[in-house]
């Protein structure tokens, strides 16, 4: 199911001061898509996410999910509609005093799910998230990853069309993060679920998002296909985020001159795994030493980065640069390093 936000904004009034948490923003998410929103804390991404299920009321604008304009719904209709919009949280937000089973049962009670079908439905959900043996364990005795799995099972209990993820992996270690992201990917595929995920970690976006919006100071400053955003970031903050992943730094002792330059190139898609360096060694009369390099897989598409130092005659270096610029699928990047 698609999500359409039209000119939504959120302004708080705090002791006579107005705080613009979200500037007028429009966003559309397609059915079955995984949309990522990335930004530092305070960028307004959490506010934007909470506008989708109206946990926060927008100061202006409309929120449409599928064919329903949520902003015009009565309180009761909105409550029923929310049962079809799942949500998971950074702190999991389970009822700690209850068992895994009772936590899922809670949302089924909320939707007046046919009582005799409840046990079977809960078993099905626990199988889906891989916790079938934990049914009667108290939620407070689970690990973070297990809690998030219960959170996902609870969010999916009423067969939602949409899943909202509020920093769902930020409280988890890297391995658990991977496994939760894989679970999200697989339910996105198997259930055709539309997912909106907010995060401050580029790793999460890289792993899962089809499209990304980069948020800063209450607005989306840049958006697009994930691969495109990674390979050609435009806004400064996007470059910061991409750089975070590569974490390339020029060694301090290296000083650049016209005969001694540092070049960073990126290899797009199919070129990323080719051995391009050999060709450079062969065709150019230059000393080439590699400083850093790596291939990242963005949604399983390779994107390679290579940083090297070239020394030799200035003309030869320019010839190399021209050669790089003329080769398809390979680009020089200016912002790294």
Partner 1 sequence: MDNFSQLWPLLYRALLETALMVSISIFFAVLIGLPLGILLYITQHPLLFKIKPLNATLGWIVNIIRSFPFIILIVAIMPFATWLVNASHGPVFASVALSIAAVPLFARLVESSFNGVKDGVIEASIAGGAPIYLIVTDVLLPEAKKSITQAITLTIISIIAFSATAGVVGGGGVGDLAIRYGYYRYDTLTMIITVIVLVIIVQIVQWAGDFISNRGEEK
Toward partner 1, which CB reaches closer, 46 or 188? 46
Stretch that binds partner 1, among 16-24, 88-96, 234-242, 278-286 (CB under 8 A): 88-96
Q: Please report whether residue 147 would count as binding partner 1 according to CB under 8 A.
A: no
Smallest separation, CB 152 to partner 1 (Å): 12
Question: Residue 286: left (phi > 0), alpha (psi -120 to 50), or beta?
Answer: beta
Strand partners for 89: 166
| Per-position x/- string for 109-128, each x denoting binding to partner 1 as judged by CB under 8 A, each - no binding | xxx-----------------
Report yes or no: 147 and 119 within 8 Å, Cβ to Cβ.
Answer: no
Stretch that binds partner 1, among 152-160, 182-190, 195-203, 288-296 (CB under 8 A): 152-160
Report yes or no: 317 and 286 within 8 Å, Cβ to Cβ.
Answer: yes
Smallest separation, CB 306 to partner 1 (Å): 44
Q: Which residue has the tokens 């002792």?
A: 253
End-to-end CA distance of the chain: 42
Burial class (CB in 10 A: 0-12, 13-18, 19+), 253: exposed
Q: Please report whether residue 149 would count as binding partner 1 according to CB under 8 A.
A: no
Smallest separation, CB 132 to partner 1 (Å): 21
Smallest separation, CB 144 to partner 1 (Å): 14
Q: Please report whether residue 241 would count as binding partner 1 according to CB under 8 A.
A: no
Smallest separation, CB 30 to partner 1 (Å): 22
What is each CA distance from 143 to 84, 99, 182, in whole angstroms? 27, 14, 18
Q: What is the 3-state secondary structure (H, E, C) of 38-106?
A: ECCCCCCHHHHHHHHCCCCCCCEEEEEECCEEHHHCCHHHHHHHHCCEEEEECCCCCCCCCEHHHHHHH
- Return the DSSP state at 336: -
Q: Please report whether residue 97 would count as binding partner 1 according to CB under 8 A.
A: yes
3-state DSSP assignment of residue 313 = coil
Toward partner 1, which CB reaches closer, 96 or 117? 96
Q: Please report whether residue 288 would count as binding partner 1 according to CB under 8 A.
A: no
Range list of H helices, 192-276: 202-208, 226-231, 236-246
Among 19, 79, 290, 314, binds partner 1 (CB under 8 A): 79
Cα angle for residues 322, 324, 329 (degrees, 5° grid): 135
Q: Pick out residues in 156-175 that bind partner 1 (CB under 8 A).
A: 158, 164
CB atoms within 10 A of CB 85: 22
Cα–Cα distance, 52 to 21 (Å, whole number): 15
Among 89, 101, 230, 305, binds partner 1 (CB under 8 A): 89
Stretch that binds partner 1, among 82-90, 171-179, 207-215, 303-311 (CB under 8 A): 82-90
Among 11, 106, 178, 301, binds partner 1 (CB under 8 A): 106
Q: Please report whether residue 94 would count as binding partner 1 according to CB under 8 A.
A: yes
| Per-position x/- string for 37-76, each x denoting binding to partner 1 as judged by CB under 8 A, each - no binding | ----------------x-x---------------------
Among 30, 69, 91, 314, binds partner 1 (CB under 8 A): 91
Contacting residues toward partner 1, per CB under 8 A = 53, 55, 79-83, 85-87, 89, 91, 93-98, 106-107, 109-111, 138, 151, 154-155, 158, 164
């Amino acid at each position: 199911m698609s999500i359409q936000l039209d000119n939504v904004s959120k302004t708080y009034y705090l002791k006579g001061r107005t705080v613009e948490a979200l500037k007028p923003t429009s966003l559309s998410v397609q059915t079955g898509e995984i949309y990522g929103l990335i930004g530092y804390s305070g960028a307004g991404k959490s506010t934007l996410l909470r506008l989708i299920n109206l946990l926060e009321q927008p100061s202006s604008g409309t929120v449409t999910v599928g064919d329903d304009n949520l902003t015009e719904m009565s309180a009761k209709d909105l409550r029923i509609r929310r049962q079809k919009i799942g949500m998971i949280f950074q702190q999991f937000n389970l009822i700690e005093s209850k068992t895994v089973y009772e936590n899922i049962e809670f949302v089924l009670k909320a939707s007046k799910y046919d009582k005799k079908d409840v046990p079977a439905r809960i078993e099905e959900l626990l199988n889906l998230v891989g916790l079938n043996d934990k049914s009667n364990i108290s939620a407070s005795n689970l690990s973070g990853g297990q809690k998030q799995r219960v959170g996902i099972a609870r969010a999916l209990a009423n067969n939602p069309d949409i899943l909202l993820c509020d920093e769902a992996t930020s409280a988890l270690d890297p391995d658990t993060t991977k496994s939760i992201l894989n679970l999200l990917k697989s339910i996105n595929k198997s259930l055709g679920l539309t997912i909106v995920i907010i995060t401050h970690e580029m790793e999460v976006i890289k792993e899962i998002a089809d499209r990304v919006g980069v948020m800063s100071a209450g607005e989306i400053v840049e958006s697009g296909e994930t691969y495109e955003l990674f390979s050609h970031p435009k806004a400064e903050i996007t470059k910061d985020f991409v750089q975070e992943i590569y974490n390339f730094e020029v060694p301090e002792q290296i000083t650049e001159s016209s005969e001694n330059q540092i070049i960073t190139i990126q290899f797009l898609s199919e070129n990323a795994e080719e051995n391009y360096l050999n060709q450079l060694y062969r065709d150019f009369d230059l000393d080439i030493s590699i400083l850093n390099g790596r291939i990242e897989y963005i949604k399983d598409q390779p994107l390679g980065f290579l940083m090297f130092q070239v020394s030799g005659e200035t003309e030869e270096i320019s010839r190399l640069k021209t050669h790089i610029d003329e080769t398809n699928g390979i680009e020089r990047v200016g912002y790294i390093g």
